[in-house]
């Protein structure tokens, strides 16, 4: 019981530890640094764009879409290639029979 | 009564400053920055618990003010608008840090990167009374574990001393919602601190 009361006392003291807190102040020459940042165009269009692209979710989404398109192109290309091979084979067969058909 | 008159006068001064800023008056911008920088910094510091990040966010808040002052319609106090931007910017940074923490294993594979702090050091608020320094560090650690809304409401009230009505305007929720958020924050903090003191008795 005494132990429990002691813990509650510690908790109360910690909960009240921000009482009488005074406002934190920025470091000197804040305005000078702010204007320097504004003039240097820190948050330029390209910087914002790159920061957006560097987000893990965005980067992974782009990678996923890229892989999806890549996969689609590979597989659709394979189908066409097979078709072309078949067509070539048939064409060769026809030309073979054309060439070897005895003339009456 | 005197306090109300003082508030009215400061509100009038504020609206004049904002009007001057809308016209591109640089001295008005400087006055706004010099008189409100600590308000923004202290808010960001309470939420981010890191002085460098808080200063960075304070700069971003004033850049945003400069760029979009024409969007300020004067429906709320100018300080409320500043608090709103400071909270939004701070939360954006906290969320981005959380995302980076989730991807910490990748950065770990790639090697040391000084930009990322996956485990931030203990935070000491410079405005805390000397006797409470150690306890406030424990409390700030517990505050950082709170859900976002509770963390914002509790920090604005405790660190900046903002009344519930203004917090409700900043967070765009009702006063009863703010009361509920702060009550739940206190309950969660007490639970967390009880666990802490039981482990570290």
| Beta carbons within 8 Å of A27's beta carbon, 6+ residues apart | B55
- Whose tokens are 């060769």? That residue is A92
* Mean pLDDT of all residues in A93-97: 70
Nearest CA in chain A to B57: A34
Select from B53, B123, B39, B122 the least CA-distant residue to B83: B39
B201 to chain A: which residues are within 8 Å by CB? 3, 6-7
pTM, two decimal places: 0.74
Phi, psi dihedrals of residue A3, rounded to the nearest 5° = -60, -45
- In this prediction, residues B134-145 reach a mean pLDDT of 96
Residue A57 with chain B: CB contacts under 8 Å = 99
Tens of pLDDT, residues B60-94: 999 999 999 999 988 889 999 999 999 999 999 99
Q: In sequence order, which residues have a C-beta less than 8 Å from that of residue B27 and are 6 or more positions away?
A: B20
Task: Provide DSSP, B51-78.
Answer: HHHHHHHHHHHHHHHHHHGGG--SSS-H
pLDDT in tens, B173-198: 999 999 999 999 999 999 999 999 99
Looking at the partner chain, which of B51, B66, B136 has a beta carbon nearest the beta carbon of A17?
A: B136
- CA of A76 to nearest chain B CA: how many angstroms apart? 33
Q: Does B109 touch chain A (CB under 8 A)?
A: no
CA distance B20 to chain A (A): 18
Please name the residue that has the structure tokens 């004033």.
B62
3-state SS class at B49 = coil
Q: What is the mean pLDDT of chain A?
A: 82
Is this complex's ipTM strictly greater than 0.85?
no
- Domains in chain B, start-ordered, CATH in brackets? 1-119 (1.10.1740.10), 122-201 (1.10.10.10)
Task: Please state the domain extents for chain A.
Answer: 56-104
What residues have CB less than 8 Å from B36, skipping those under 6 apart? B79, B82
pLDDT at residue number B29: 95
How does pLDDT run across B39-49, given as a tens digit for each residue? 999 999 999 99
Maximal CA-CA distance, chain A: 120
Q: What is the pLDDT of residues B16-62, one digit of tens each?
A: 899 999 999 999 999 999 999 999 999 999 999 999 999 999 999 99
């Amino acid at each position: 019981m005494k132990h429990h009361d002691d813990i509650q006392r510690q908790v109360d003291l910690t909960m009240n530890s921000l009482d009488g807190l005074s406002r934190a102040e920025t470091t000197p020459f804040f305005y000078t640094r702010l204007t320097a940042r504004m003039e240097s165009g820190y948050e330029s269009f390209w910087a914002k764009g790159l920061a957006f692209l560097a987000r893990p979710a965005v980067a992974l989404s782009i990678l996923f879409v890229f892989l999806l398109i890549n996969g689609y192109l590979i597989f659709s290309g394979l189908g066409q290639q097979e078709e072309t091979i078949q067509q070539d084979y048939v064409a060769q067969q026809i030309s073979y029979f054309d060439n070897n058909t005895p003339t009456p | 009564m005197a306090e109300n008159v003082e508030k009215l006068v400061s509100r009038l001064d504020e609206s004049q400053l904002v009007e001057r800023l809308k016209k591109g008056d640089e001295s008005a911008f400087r006055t706004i920055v010099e008189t409100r920088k600590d308000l923004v910094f202290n808010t960001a510091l309470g939420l981010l618990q890191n002085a460098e990040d808080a200063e960075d966010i304070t700069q971003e808040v004033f850049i945003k003010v400069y760029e979009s002052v024409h969007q300020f319609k004067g429906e709320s106090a100018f300080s409320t608008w500043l608090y709103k931007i400071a909270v939004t910017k701070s939360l954006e940074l906290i969320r981005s840090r959380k995302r980076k923490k989730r991807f910490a294993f990748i950065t770990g594979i790639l090697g040391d990167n000084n930009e990322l702090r996956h485990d931030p050091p203990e935070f000491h608020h410079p405005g805390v009374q000397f006797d409470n320094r150690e306890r406030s560090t424990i409390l700030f650690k517990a505050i950082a574990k709170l859900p976002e809304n509770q963390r914002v409401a509790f920090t604005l009230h405790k660190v900046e001393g903002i009344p519930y009505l203004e917090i409700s305007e900043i967070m765009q929720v009702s006063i009863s919602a703010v009361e509920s958020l702060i009550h739940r924050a206190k309950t969660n903090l007490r639970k967390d601190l009880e666990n802490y003191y039981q482990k570290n008795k």
